[in-house]
């Protein structure tokens, strides 16, 4: 890792350009009033916002700049209504009522557009370079893959955006992260992202937007860029982005909600928002990934990760508060310092989520699982109806089902377990999701290890953590 510090402020970056284009004015507090060009919503963080509007007798002046979908609480097997879980039913029905009352765009539950918000919205072509996009969800930073300035907001802020199309904010600093080298076989965008987080730490990005660039990012597909940007927030950065290029424009061409008649004009505009060649950053860091191997997290936050060749750090390698925290993580996870994770048995494998629920992720998992049997419960959850249809067209559903996996309907599923898909007791899971926090997968004592789709698939096949590269 190489650091370049400057005492300059960012200038002429995509962040600066998009921020400036959306600035309405400076509020009496000194904060910036910022215009929101795309407002995305889901069922969990929006009901109270609509209620706040009703309380104040406000309407939404720009309803068509907002699109909503239900994903967090929806069951991934039986979608018949009412849902068996009455809270999930009430919450979903509330969203359906609200989008109707406020006249917002809605991807209905059983339509071919339903899915995990951060999978389906980009896939439908709603997210474009240069947009300022918000959602009451921290993984909104996923849309940065398109060169949009995108970040999560709270429910009160959702009500502000609904009522005024604006919100009060302070500008972030911009850190350029150059990802250099040549990525090895079996190493994915997920591993790169987890490596960045363990290098810069989970709080390294506090106060920053991350601009990801360099030869590795240039060569990434949109799916890979989405995985990378999705995890920016796990490194503390509220927003992360990649400058738009031909990969971005080619992806958007022909997508249902992408510009049609004005496509060429749009491309010109999109290209113009990329960071200029003389852009200045608050700081720059280079991370070389040539020697990177697949990563498995061992602890209770995403920076606590090791490669398949490394051992869990010894307790004595930590000191002070970090030592207490490592010990706490060891106890919770039921592991010890100096052990290897390869060969450690797991109970459940989860393949899906807004991090790794796209077609290319399922393709990687299918590549390893094809023709084999899984040894543990393995949930494969397509990120959207479109991903599911695409996967079925390619026969992945058959590969997964023949291997003994569960092939489920699109939703957030076991990433955060606000639905029936949960760990039980202290089950250990290998998960392609984004958070290994305590209790994250639905059991207060459940143990989550974050991995790539390749590693998840190899682990499913062996019933214990495995290096996926021997299968590739």
Partner 1 sequence: MAEFVIKENIISSVSGTAIPKPANDQNTDDIIPARFMKEITFANMGKYAYCDERFKDGKEIPMHPFNDKKFRGGSILVAGVNYGCGSSREHAPQALYRYGVRAIIAESFAEIFAGNCASLGIVGVTATAKEIASLIEFINNNPSEKIVVDLVEKKVKYKSIEAPIEILEGRRRAFLNGTWDALTILQQNKEGIKKVKETLPYLRFE
| C-beta of 169 vs 403, nearer to partner 1 | 169
Phi, psi of 281 (to 5 degrees): -120, 160
Q: Which of residues 4-23 bind partner 1 (CB under 8 A)?
A: 21-23
Residue 265 within binding range of partner 1, rule CB under 8 A: yes
The single-letter DSSP state of residue 29 is T
Instruction: Tell me how far, at minimum, the Cβ of 305 lies from partner 1, in Å.
Output: 14
Residue 3 within binding range of partner 1, rule CB under 8 A: no
d(CA 430, CA 60): 42
Residue 260 within binding range of partner 1, rule CB under 8 A: yes
SS (H, E, C) 368-423: HHCCCCCCCEEEEECCEHHHHHHHHHCCHHHHHHHHCCEEECCCCHHHCCCCCCCC
Phi, psi of 134 (to 5 degrees): -135, 160
Handedness of CA 10, 40, 453, 424 (dihedral sign): positive
Q: How is residue 419 written in tokens?
A: 């639905």
Q: What is the largest CA-CA distance in the chain?
A: 64
| C-beta of 48 vs 180, nearer to partner 1 | 48
Q: Which of residues 295-314 bind partner 1 (CB under 8 A)?
A: 301
How would you label 178-206 residue by residue, b for 16+ Cβ within 10 Å and e otherwise? bbebebeebbbbbbbbbbbbbebebebbe
Q: Which of residues 87-106 bind partner 1 (CB under 8 A)?
A: 87-88, 90-91, 94
For residues 295 and 451, the answer to whether their CB atoms sit within 8 Å is yes
Task: Compute how many other C-beta atoms are within 10 angstroms of the C-beta atom of residue 108.
Answer: 13
Residue 199 within binding range of partner 1, rule CB under 8 A: no
Residue 30 within binding range of partner 1, rule CB under 8 A: yes
**DSSP per residue over 239-278, as a string?**
EEEE---HHHHHHHTT-TTS-STTHHHHHHHHHHTSPPTT
Nearest-CA neighbor of 391 among 352, 420, 430?
352
Exactly one of 145, 279, 387, 417 binds partner 1 (CB under 8 A); that residue is 417
Exactly one of 100, 110, 111, 170 binds partner 1 (CB under 8 A); that residue is 170
Instruction: Tell me how far, at minimum, the Cβ of 262 lies from partner 1, in Å.
Output: 4
Exactly one of 166, 413, 455, 459 binds partner 1 (CB under 8 A); that residue is 166
Stretch that binds partner 1, among 44-52, 108-116, 343-351, 423-431 (CB under 8 A): 44-52
Q: Which of residues 439-458 bind partner 1 (CB under 8 A)?
A: 439-440, 442, 444
Residue 113 within binding range of partner 1, rule CB under 8 A: no
Exactly one of 142, 159, 275, 429 binds partner 1 (CB under 8 A); that residue is 159
For residues 447 and 428, the answer to whether their CB atoms sit within 8 Å is yes
Q: Which of residues 114-133 bind partner 1 (CB under 8 A)?
A: 128, 130-131
Exactly one of 11, 12, 35, 318 binds partner 1 (CB under 8 A); that residue is 35
For residues 108 and 114, the answer to whether their CB atoms sit within 8 Å is yes
* Site track for partner 1 across 356-395, x = CB under 8 A: ----------------------------------------
Q: Which of residues 47-76 bind partner 1 (CB under 8 A)?
A: 47-48, 51, 56, 62, 65, 72-73
Q: Considering CB under 8 A, how many residues would be counted as binding partner 1?
A: 83
């Amino acid at each position: 890792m190489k650091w370049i510090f400057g005492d300059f402020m960012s200038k002429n970056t995509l962040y600066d350009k998009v921020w400036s284009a959306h600035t309405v004015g400076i509020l009496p507090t000194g904060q910036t009033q910022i215009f929101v060009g795309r407002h995305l919503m889901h069922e969990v963080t929006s009901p109270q916002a609509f209620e706040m509007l009703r309380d104040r007798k406000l309407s939404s002046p720009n309803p068509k700049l907002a699109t909503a979908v239900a994903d967090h609480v929806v069951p991934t097997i039986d979608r018949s209504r009412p849902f068996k879980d009455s809270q999930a039913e009430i919450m979903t029905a509330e969203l359906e009522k609200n989008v109707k009352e406020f006249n917002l765009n809605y991807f209905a539950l059983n339509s071919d557009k339903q899915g995990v918000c951060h999978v389906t919205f980009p896939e439908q072509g709603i997210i474009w370079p240069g947009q300022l996009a918000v959602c009451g969800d921290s993984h909104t930073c996923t849309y940065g893959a398109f060169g949009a300035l995108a970040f999560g907001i709270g429910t009160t802020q959702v009500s502000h955006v609904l009522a005024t199309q604006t919100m009060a904010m302070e500008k972030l600093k911009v850190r350029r992260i150059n990802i250099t080298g040549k990525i090895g076989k079996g190493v994915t965008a997920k591993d790169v992202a987890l490596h960045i987080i363990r290098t810069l730490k989970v709080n390294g990005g506090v106060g920053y937007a991350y601009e990801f660039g360099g030869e590795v990012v240039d060569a990434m597909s949109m799916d890979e860029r989405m995985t990378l940007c999705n995890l920016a927030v796990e490194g503390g950065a509220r927003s992360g982005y990649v400058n738009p290029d031909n990969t971005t424009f080619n992806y958007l061409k022909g997508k249902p909600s992408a510009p049609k008649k004005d496509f060429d004009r749009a491309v010109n505009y999109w290209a113009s928002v990329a960071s200029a060649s003389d852009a200045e950053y608050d700081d720059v860091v280079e991370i070389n990934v040539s020697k990177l191997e697949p990563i498995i997290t061992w602890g209770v936050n995403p920076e606590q990760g090791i490669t398949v060749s490394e051992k869990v750090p010894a307790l004595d390698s930590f000191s002070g508060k970090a030592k207490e925290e490592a010990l706490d993580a060891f106890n919770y996870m039921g592991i010890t310092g100096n052990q290897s994770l390869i060969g450690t048995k797991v109970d459940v494998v989860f393949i899906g989520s807004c991090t790794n629920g796209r077609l290319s992720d399922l393709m990687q998992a299918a590549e390893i699982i094809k023709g084999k049997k899984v040894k543990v419960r393995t949930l494969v959850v397509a990120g959207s109806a479109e991903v599911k249809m695409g996967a079925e067209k390619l026969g992945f559903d058959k590969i997964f089902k023949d291997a003994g996996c569960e092939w489920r309907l699109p939703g957030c599923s076991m990433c955060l377990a606000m639905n029936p898909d949960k760990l039980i007791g202290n089950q250990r899971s290998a998960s392609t999701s984004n958070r290994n926090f305590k209790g994250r997968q639905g059991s207060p004592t459940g143990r989550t290890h974050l991995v790539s789709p390749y590693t998840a698939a190899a682990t499913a096949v062996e019933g214990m953590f495995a290096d996926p590269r021997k299968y590739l």
